[in-house]
Structure 1
Amino acid sequence: MNFISLILAIIAGGIGAALRYGTTVIFPAKKDGFPLAILVVNLVGSMLVGLFTALLANAILSPEVGFVLVAGFCGGFTTMSTFAVDSIERLRSGHWMLAGLNIVGSTALGLLAVSGGYLLGGGPLS
């Protein structure tokens, strides 16, 4: 890890955060509706993390580039905190099914997305 990688990760994180925000503008969530934007962001980000991890494991990406893409871009793009807030808001407003669907669906689909990305990058799952 070097200073330039750190600066590039910070920039990539800002780009990821801006794209996440753009997704919430395109798919705005209502308190009594399903938080589609955050699901989309987290699934795409999970798939990218899986892909980048496989590319790192296969030495296609350098550790520095992997850091910029995974910790920087994907770290800024995906959001566990918003996922948690969306789930709690639905629970507090009595929308138990939406909250449960968000929690279980995001977790299960996120794991599948990471696995799919890892396979796309040529990484074995075993």
Structure 2
Amino acid sequence: MNALSFILAIVAGGLGAGLRYGATVALPPKKEGFPLAIFIVNVVGSFLIGVFTALLINTVLSTELGFILVAGFCGGFTTMSTFAVESVERMQSGKWVIAGLNIIGSTAAGLLAVGAGYVIAGGPLSS
């Protein structure tokens, strides 16, 4: 990796984080309700990671650009830590069903979104 790629990854990460922040401002989480903003961000980010991975495999994207998009943009955009905090907060307030829906729903939707992005972008179905 060269210095320019490093700087571009930082910029891409900042852009992703800024968009995530915008989503949480647009759809602010309610302490006990379903954390919709982070759910949407993580599903969209998972879809994009699937797309970018397929494009990398098919050599449509260079390795450097792929890493800038996946680790930089998607890494800044998606958030495992906020997902975890929001789930724990629901558990602490006794909202076990909402916490469970967030944990199971986010995991399942994220996996499906990665797979959908991967297939839509032409990722190979078998190795």
TM-score range, shorter chain: over 0.9
Question: Hey, what does 1:15 align to over in structure 2?
Answer: 15
Residue 2 of structure 1, CA deviation = 1.4
TM-score (norm 2): 0.97
In the other structure, the counterpart of 1:2 is 2
1:102 corresponding residue in structure 2? 102
Partner Cα distance (1:100, 1:8) in 2: 37
Gaps of 5+ in 2: none
Give the drift of 1:125: 3.3
Inter-partner Cα distance in structure 2 for 1:48 and 1:125: 17
Deviations 1:35-84 (A, max 9, x none): 00000000000000000000000000000100110000000000000000
Deviations along 1:81-120, one digit per CA (max 9) or x if unpaired, are 0000000000000000000000000000000000000011
Return the letter of the residue paired with 2:25. Answer: V
Structure 2 CA distance, aligned partners of 1:103 and 1:125?
27
Measured in 2, the distance between the counterparts of 1:120 and 1:114 equals: 10
The DSSP-based 3-state class of the residue aligned with 1:125 is coil
Percent identical across equivalent pairs?
A: 71
The equivalences for 1:42-81 within 5 A come to 42-81=42-81
Does 1:115 find its partner at 2:115? yes
- The residue that corresponds to 2:92 in the other structure is 92
CA contact (8 A) 1:115 1:125 kept: no
Deviations 1:1-47 (A, max 9, x none): 21111100000000000000000011111111000000000000000
Amino acid at match of 1:59: T
State how far apart, in whole Å, the 2-side matches of 1:92 and 1:2 are: 45
Following TM superposition, the consecutive aligned residue runs of length 4 or more in structure 1 with deviations greater than 6 angstroms are none
Unaligned 5+ runs, structure 1:
none
